[in-house]
Amino acid sequence: MIKFAFSAGFSTLLSMFKRSLTACAIVSAIFVMVSHASAQEAVRPEVGKPLQAANDLMRAGKFKDALNKVREAEKVSGLTAQESYLVNSSMGSAASGAGDSATAIRAFEAVLASGKAPGATQLKIVEALVGMQYSARNYPAAIQMATRYFRDGGGSGQVRTLMIQSYFQSGDFANAAKESLTDIQADEKAGRAPSEEKLQLLANSYLRQKNGNGYIATIEKLLNYYPKKSLWADVVSRLQSKPGFADRLALDVYRLRLATGNLTATNDFMEMSQLALQAGFPSEAKKVVDEGYASGALGKGAEAARHKRLKDLVESRVAENASVIAAGSKAEAEANAARNGDALFTLGYNRFTAGQSSGTGMMEAAIKKGDMKRPEDAKLHLGIALLQSNQKVRGVQMLRSVKGDDGVADMANLWVIFSR
């Protein structure tokens, strides 16, 4: 199972919020100064003087000193509503700049509760509180503030991302998935690639809900936009364990793992080459063995002699098969004369894996002949062969025609994604 890491991305997001908080602190400080100049209610000197000093200190970036000055004003007895409002405005600004989130949260919440701040300032404060509550891991409060922010007309994508992440962190995976999917669909409708972070969060939300279909669909989107070996390994593994997945597709699983760089273990190379031999494709088995030796997975260690025996067996089968796949051979005549296309298809696939360009044409002719035992498997293998022959458009068209609920259509869909 893939374990997605959100920490780096959301640390970056929170850093952005910290910069936003500094901006909010400056805005609030300026507002305090304006309030001092224009307030209709008188502010006593014992309150106004330390607040003015706090403003000057904040302008100089000395937030801790500013916070101490604000606390001097806070201690004055009998604060009026206006004075309390100005004290809390300065307190929130200074505390956020000083990194004292708990104090900043209390002060800004008091500012909001007073109802005295202009609408634009309120929105900035609410935006700041989303980030601070999230950073404090108070996810329900972060969601509440984010909801208010959007209700009041806010449009920050950062706030929306933190809201969705708060749903996830608080265990509300249904809402996390719902909101993530809304954003992703909006991105795709607008012709934008959804961010990898959004897709990862959606995938994990589905995973926590045990929604296998939603998880696979989201992983496929990740493969479309941000293909990685680890993602391919996960989706192929999950597909193979899907109820109803046919055992006969084991070789096809190895083929996709090989194509996506996920065939690395010695036993995998051994198993795939043996399956190819059993399926009657010695040239494919040889390619697998050769790659195993080239990568160092085969030919080394205590099992080197066993690897050599497999290599010798494969090469002898290739030699035996050479006359069978030759153009104009008896096998070709018999395959063309057969009632169904199975023998002709096997011959064509062998030619293809042996590097003969006529192989794909023979495979197509076999499918047209019809009456095959596994026609959907044949279309899957022809589609793969066409892709690997640099006939992408035709290959994708063939793969998209594959039907079935036993895993063959799922495999075809993954190859279509891989082709991109």
pLDDT digits (tens, 9 = 90+) for 158-211: 999 999 999 999 999 999 999 999 999 999 999 999 999 999 999 999 999 989
Q: For residue 15, what pLDDT is reported?
A: 53
Residue pair 193/184 in contact by the 8 Å Cβ criterion: no
The DSSP letter of residue 404 is -
Does 263 lie in the same domain as 117? no
Instruction: Return the pLDDT at 14.
Output: 52
Question: Is 257 in the same domain as 206?
Answer: no
Please give the C-alpha separations between residue 402 and each of 115, 346, 350, 381, 410, in angstroms, as whole numbers: 63, 18, 21, 10, 9
Same domain, 66 and 79: yes
Can you give 349-383 as a three-state secondary structure string? HHHHHCCCCHHHHHHHHHHHHCCCCCHHHHHHHHH
Tell me, yes or no, whether 56 and 115 share the same domain. Answer: yes
Provide the greatest CA pair distance for the chain.
Answer: 109
Q: Are residues 87 and 208 in the same domain?
A: no
Q: Are 121 and 34 in contact (CB under 8 A)?
A: no
Residue 204 shares a structural domain with residue 163? no
Torsion of CA 202, 204, 209, 214, to 10 degrees: 50
Q: Do the domain assignments include residue 238?
A: no
Residues 406, 348 share a domain: yes
pTM above 0.75, yes or no: no
Residue 215 included in any domain: yes
Q: What is the domain range of residue 133?
A: 7-167
Q: Same structural domain for residues 302 and 356?
A: yes
Q: Is residue 43 part of a domain?
A: yes
Q: What CATH number is given to the structural domain containing 86?
A: 1.25.40.10
Total domains in the chain come to 3
CA distance 374 to 172: 45
pLDDT at 179: 96
CA distance 351 to 389: 12
In a domain, residue 229? The reply is: no
Tell me, yes or no, whether 352 lies in a domain: yes
For the chain, residues with pLDDT lower than 50 are: 1-13, 16, 21-40
Task: Based on the fold, state whether residues 213 and 105 are members of the same structural domain.
Answer: no
Note whether 86 and 209 are same-domain residues.
no
E strands, 16-117, in order: none
- Final residue before a domain boundary, out of 122, 148, 167: 167
Nearest 5°: the CA angle 137, 200, 400 is 160
Residue 228 lies inside a defined structural domain of this protein: no
Residue keyed to tokens 């309120």: 122
Q: Which of 125, 144, 167 is the last residue of a domain?
A: 167
Residue 237 lies in a domain: no
Q: Assess if residue 384 is contained within a domain.
A: yes
Predicted pLDDT of residue 109: 93
Angle at 155 between CA 154 and CA 161, to 5 degrees: 110
In three-state secondary structure terms, 333 is: helix
Co-location of 132 and 191 in the same domain: no
Count of beta carbons in the 10 Å neighbourhood of residue 12: 11
Do 154 and 188 lie in a common domain? no
Query: What are φ and ψ of residue 44, in 5° steps?
Result: -65, 145
The residue among 167, 201, 232 that closes a domain is 167
Which residues, at least 6 apart from 74, have a Cβ–Cβ distance to it below 8 Å? 87, 91
* pLDDT (tens digit per residue) in 82-135: 999 999 999 998 998 888 989 999 999 999 999 888 888 889 899 999 999 999
Q: Residue 391, SS3?
A: coil
